C-alpha cells in the first residue's frame, strides 16, 4: 500500500496504481505547447462568443443552458488552467466553481436545475470538483460532496437514474469511490451499489455483444457511440466494487468486441452517433474520442495493463488531433479515417447531420464543443501514477515533469525529455535531495521490438520485453539519467476489405493531401470551414504487408505540431492511382477490395501522422505486384 497517495480502501479491490493529484505532473516540451495552443484556441475563448458557456449559462447563475455543457467544459478547462499555471485561466475557472459551491441547498442538491433531478450533469460537475480539490485542497469540496451524496442516497429509491445517467453511471460511481477513499464512510459503498444496480451492465453488454454491424434502423442508448466510450471502463469499475473475475476479464473483452466489429485504424471505433461498422468512411464523434481516453486512463489505474497505455497513446496522438484545425479554433463532430472532403452534404452516417464533418464552432451539435477540452489535459495529468510499493510508473510517454513522494517520504522530481511519439528516445532525469531507493516503472509498448535501456550513459544493459512494465529499482542519486530507446519499425496492419494501414510507433500514417480551407458560415470569432482536396487522393500502395519498406524522414518538432505543413515525421512509399476509385456522395467511394490492379505510373507518396492530416487516406487499397 502506498503511504503517500490515495489507495482503494477495503472492501474495494486494490488498484494496480494510485492516481497522482492534479498538478503533480506538469507538461513540458511539445505537450506544453499543445496545451497552450488549446488554451489560445476554442478552450480559452468559447465563453466570449458561445452562448452555452456565456454569462447567461445556468452554471454561472443565468437562465441559459443548464444541463451538461457547463460541467463538460470545466471537466477539461479546470485541469488545463492549472497544468499551464495560468492565473487568468484559473480565475475564469474559479468563477464557475464558486457559483457551483454556493448553489447547494439545505438538502444537498446543487446546480441550476431543480424539480425532477437529472443525475447525469451533476456527475460531470462532481468529476470537476474532484480535480479541483486535488490541485487546490479547497476544504469546502469534501463536505459539499458528502451532503450531496447523502441527498442522493435518500432520493435514489424514488427518484431513479434515467436515460443518460443510467448509461453513464460509471462517472458517478468514480466520484463516490473518490470520496469513500478519503472519508471511509460505509454509506458511500451502499450508494455506489445503488448506482451500479440502477445503471446499465456494460460488462454483460460486451460479453454478450449483439451490435455487430452498422446500426441502420433502431437507434438506441446502447448503440450510442459516447455511451459505449464511457462504458468501455464499465467492467473495470464494476470489478473495483465486486471483485468478480468476469468483471476483471471484461475490459479486454470490451476492447476486442469494439475492435472486431467497429474498430478504426487509430484505435478508436466508429460511431456517427451510433455504432457504424468498420468502413473507413464512417465517422467517429469527438466526444467518443475524449471519453475513450478517460476510460483508458481509469482502466490503467485499476488493472495496470500496459496494453491500455498502448491504446491510450494511439487514440491521443492520432484520433484526438486529427479532428481539430492546427490552432484548435475549429473542430469536427465526426472524423473519418478516409476523409477526402469536408463539406455540408448527406453522407452515410447512421443518423448524423450533413454538417458533421466540417470544421468549426458547433458542427452537428454542441456537446463536442463543450466536452473536447478534457482530452489533452487529462492525458498530461495521468502520464505518471504512483505504485503500491511506493514508487512511480510512467504509463504513457510525453515530455513532462513529475514531482512526487517515493519510498521513505522523499520527494523526487523526474524530468522526462523526449520528442515521443515522433522520436524513439525517452530520457528520465532524476532529481532527489538525497539518495533514495525506489522502483521506477515504465511501459514498454507492444510494438517496441528491440527496446533497451541504459543508465548514466552506459551501454544498453538489457533488451526489454514489449507489452510489459519494466521496473528499474535501485538507489537513485541526484542527476541519474535513465535513457530508454523504443525502436519504431514501420509496420503494416490489414484493415477493411483487405486494405493496409502503415504505423510507426504509436503513430498512424495517412496520405498527405493538399488542403484548401474555405469559410462557409459562422461568426467572425470562430467561423465554420469546408476543406477541399487540391491533390489526388485515390492511391493504392505498392508494399509488402509482411515487410513494409518506407523511407522515414524525421524532422524537428516545431511550435505547431499537428499541421500538414509542419509534420515532424514523414514516410515515403510507392503507390499508383486507382482511376475507378472516385467520390461517391461527397466522400471517398467504397474501398476497393484488395488486391487491386492499376496500370497507372508508380509515384512516390508522402505519408504524415494521421493527426497532422485533416484530409487523408489511412486505409489504403493494396496493389497487385
Which residues 6+ apart lie within 8 Å of 31 measured at CB?
376, 380, 398, 399, 400
Indicate if the pLDDT at residue 459 is higher than 90: no
Q: How confident is the model at residue 471 (pLDDT cuts 50, 70, 90)?
A: very high
* 590 burial type by CB count under 10 A (0-12 exposed, 13-18 middle, 19+ buried): exposed
Show the CA angle centred on residue 319, arms to residues 314 and 324, nearest 5°.
140
Alpha helices in 160-281 (DSSP H): 164-167, 169-183, 186-198, 202-207, 225-231, 234-242, 245-262
> C-alpha grid cell for residue 378?
487529462
Tell me what the mean pLDDT of segment 255-273 comes to: 99
Q: What's the rounded Cα separation, in Å, for the pair 152 and 149? A: 5
Tell me: the pLDDT tens digits for 523-560?
999 999 999 999 999 999 999 999 999 999 999 999 99
Q: What's the rounded Cα separation, in Å, for the pair 9 and 180? A: 8
The CATH number given to 387-418+424-485 is 2.60.420
Closest CA to 575 of 528, 625, 532, 534: 625
Can you give the pLDDT at residue 114? 84
User: Sign of torsion, CA 495 498 504 508?
Assistant: negative
Can you give the pLDDT at residue 193? 98
Indicate if the pLDDT at residue 218 is higher than 80: no
Phi and psi for 49 in degrees, rounded to 5?
Answer: -140, -5
Alpha carbon 484 to chain centroid distance?
Answer: 24
Indicate if the pLDDT at residue 149 is higher than 90: yes
Can you give the pLDDT at residue 602? 98
Mean per-residue pLDDT of the chain = 98
Q: How far is the CA of 624 from the CAs of 56, 78, 541, 600, in angstroms? A: 60, 52, 9, 12
For the chain, what are the domain ranges? 41-199, 387-418+424-485, 490-612
Indicate if the pLDDT at residue 219 is higher than 90: no
Tell me: the pLDDT tens digits for 98-135?
999 999 999 999 999 988 899 999 999 999 999 999 99
Tell me: the pLDDT tens digits for 17-53?
999 999 999 999 999 999 999 999 999 999 999 999 9
> C-alpha grid cell for residue 580?
475507378
Tell me what the mean pLDDT of segment 343-355 comes to: 97
Percent above pLDDT 90 for the chain: 97
- Per DSSP, the three-state class of 427 is strand
Can you give the pLDDT at residue 328? 99
Q: What's the rounded Cα separation, in Å, for the pair 120 and 123? A: 5
Can you give the pLDDT at residue 463? 83
Q: How confident is the model at residue 458 (pLDDT cuts 50, 70, 90)?
A: confident
Which residues 6+ apart lie within 8 Å of 425 measured at CB?
418, 419, 483, 484, 485, 486
Tell me: the pLDDT tens digits for 151-179?
999 999 999 999 999 999 999 999 999 99
Q: What is the dihedral of CA 194, 199, 205, 207, to 10 degrees?
A: -20
Can you give the pLDDT at residue 265? 98
Tell me what the mean pLDDT of segment 356-373 comes to: 98
Q: What's the rounded Cα separation, in Å, for the pair 161 and 150? A: 15
Tell me what the mean pLDDT of segment 454-480 comes to: 92
Can you give the pLDDT at residue 625? 77
Indicate if the pLDDT at residue 461 is higher than 90: no
Can you give the pLDDT at residue 35? 99
Can you give the pLDDT at residue 460? 74
Tell me: the pLDDT tens digits for 266-309?
999 999 999 999 999 999 999 999 999 999 999 999 999 999 99
Residue in the structure block whose three cell numbers are 484530409: 615
Indicate if the pLDDT at residue 457 is higher than 90: no
Cβ atoms of 594 and 575 within 8 Å: the answer is: no
Residue in the structure block whose three cell numbers are 487499397: 621
Amino acid at each position: 500500500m502506498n503511504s503517500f497517495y490515495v489507495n482503494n480502501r477495503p472492501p474495494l479491490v486494490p488498484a494496480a496504481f494510485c492516481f497522482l493529484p492534479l498538478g503533480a505532473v506538469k507538461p513540458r516540451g511539445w505537450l506544453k505547447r499543445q496545451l497552450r495552443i488549446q488554451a489560445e484556441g476554442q478552450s480559452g475563448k468559447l465563453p466570449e462568443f458561445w452562448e452555452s458557456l456565456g454569462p447567461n449559462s445556468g452554471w454561472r447563475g443565468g437562465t441559459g443552458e443548464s444541463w451538461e455543457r457547463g460541467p463538460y467544459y470545466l471537466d477539461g478547462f479546470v485541469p488545463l488552467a492549472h497544468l499551464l499555471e495560468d492565473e487568468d485561466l484559473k480565475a475564469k475557472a474559479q468563477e464557475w466553481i464558486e457559483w457551483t459551491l454556493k448553489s447547494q441547498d439545505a438538502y444537498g442538491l446543487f446546480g441550476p436545475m431543480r424539480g425532477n433531478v437529472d443525475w447525469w450533469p451533476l456527475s460531470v460537475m462532481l468529476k470537476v470538483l474532484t480535480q479541483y480539490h486535488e490541485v487546490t485542497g479547497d476544504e469546502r469540496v469534501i463536505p459539499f460532496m458528502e451532503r450531496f451524496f447523502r441527498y442522493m442516497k435518500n432520493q435514489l429509491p424514488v427518484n431513479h437514474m434515467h436515460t443518460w445517467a443510467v448509461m453513464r453511471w460509471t462517472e458517478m460511481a468514480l466520484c463516490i469511490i473518490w470520496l469513500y477513499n478519503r472519508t471511509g464512510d460505509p454509506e458511500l459503498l451502499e450508494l455506489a451499489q445503488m448506482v451500479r444496480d440502477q445503471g446499465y451492465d456494460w460488462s454483460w453488454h460486451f460479453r454478450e455483444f449483439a451490435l455487430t454491424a452498422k446500426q441502420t434502423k433502431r437507434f438506441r442508448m446502447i448503440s450510442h457511440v459516447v455511451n459505449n466510450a464511457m462504458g468501455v471502463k464499465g467492467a473495470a469499475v464494476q470489478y473495483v466494487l465486486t471483485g468478480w473475475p468476469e468483471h476483471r476479464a471484461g475490459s479486454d473483452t470490451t476492447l476486442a468486441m469494439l475492435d472486431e466489429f467497429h474498430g478504426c485504424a487509430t484505435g478508436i471505433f466508429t460511431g456517427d452517433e451510433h455504432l457504424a461498422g468498420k468502413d473507413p468512411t464512417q465517422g467517429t464523434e469527438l466526444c467518443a474520442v475524449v471519453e475513450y481516453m478517460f476510460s483508458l486512463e481509469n482502466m490503467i489505474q485499476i488493472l495496470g495493463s500496459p496494453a491500455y497505455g498502448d491504446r491510450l497513446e494511439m487514440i491521443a496522438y492520432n484520433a484526438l488531433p486529427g479532428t481539430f484545425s492546427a490552432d484548435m479554433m475549429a473542430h469536427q463532430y465526426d472524423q473519418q479515417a478516409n476523409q477526402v472532403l469536408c463539406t455540408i452534404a448527406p453522407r452515410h452516417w447512421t443518423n448524423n447531420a450533413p454538417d458533421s464533418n466540417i470544421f468549426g464552432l458547433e458542427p452537428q451539435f454542441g456537446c463536442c464543443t463543450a466536452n473536447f477540452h478534457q482530452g489533452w489535459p487529462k492525458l498530461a495529468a495521468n502520464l505518471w501514477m504512483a505504485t503500491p510499493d511506493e514508487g512511480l510508473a510512467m504509463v504513457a510517454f510525453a515530455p513532462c515533469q513529475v514531482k512526487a513522494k517515493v519510498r521513505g517520504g522523499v520527494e523526487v522530481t523526474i524530468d522526462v525529455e523526449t520528442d515521443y511519439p515522433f522520436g524513439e528516445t525517452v530520457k528520465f532525469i532524476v532529481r532527489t535531495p538525497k539518495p533514495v531507493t525506489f522502483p521506477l516503472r515504465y511501459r514498454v509498448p507492444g510494438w517496441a521490438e528491440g527496446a533497451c535501456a541504459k543508465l548514466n550513459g552506459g551501454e544498453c544493459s538489457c533488451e526489454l520485453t514489449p507489452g510489459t512494465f519494466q521496473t528499474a529499482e535501485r538507489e537513485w542519486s541526484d542527476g541519474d539519467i535513465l535513457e530508454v530507446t523504443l525502436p519504431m519499425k514501420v509496420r503494416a496492419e490489414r484493415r477493411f476489405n483487405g486494405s493496409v494501414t502503415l504505423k510507426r510507433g504509436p503513430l498512424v500514417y495517412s496520405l498527405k493531401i493538399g488542403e484548401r480551407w474555405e469559410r462557409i458560415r459562422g461568426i467572425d470569432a470562430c467561423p465554420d470551414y469546408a476543406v477541399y482536396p487540391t491533390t489526388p487522393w485515390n492511391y493504392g500502395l505498392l508494399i509488402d504487408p509482411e515487410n513494409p519498406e518506407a523511407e522515414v524522414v524525421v524532422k524537428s518538432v516545431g511550435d505547431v505540431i499537428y499541421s500538414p505543413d509542419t509534420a515532424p515525421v514523414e514516410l515515403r512509399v510507392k503507390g499508383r492511382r486507382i482511376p475507378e476509385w472516385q467520390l461517391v456522395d461527397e466522400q471517398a467511394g467504397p474501398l476497393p477490395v484488395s488486391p487491386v490492379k492499376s496500370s497507372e505510373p508508380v509515384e512516390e507518396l508522402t505519408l504524415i501522422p494521421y493527426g497532422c492530416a485533416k484530409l487523408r487516406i489511412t486505409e489504403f487499397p493494396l496493389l497487385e505486384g
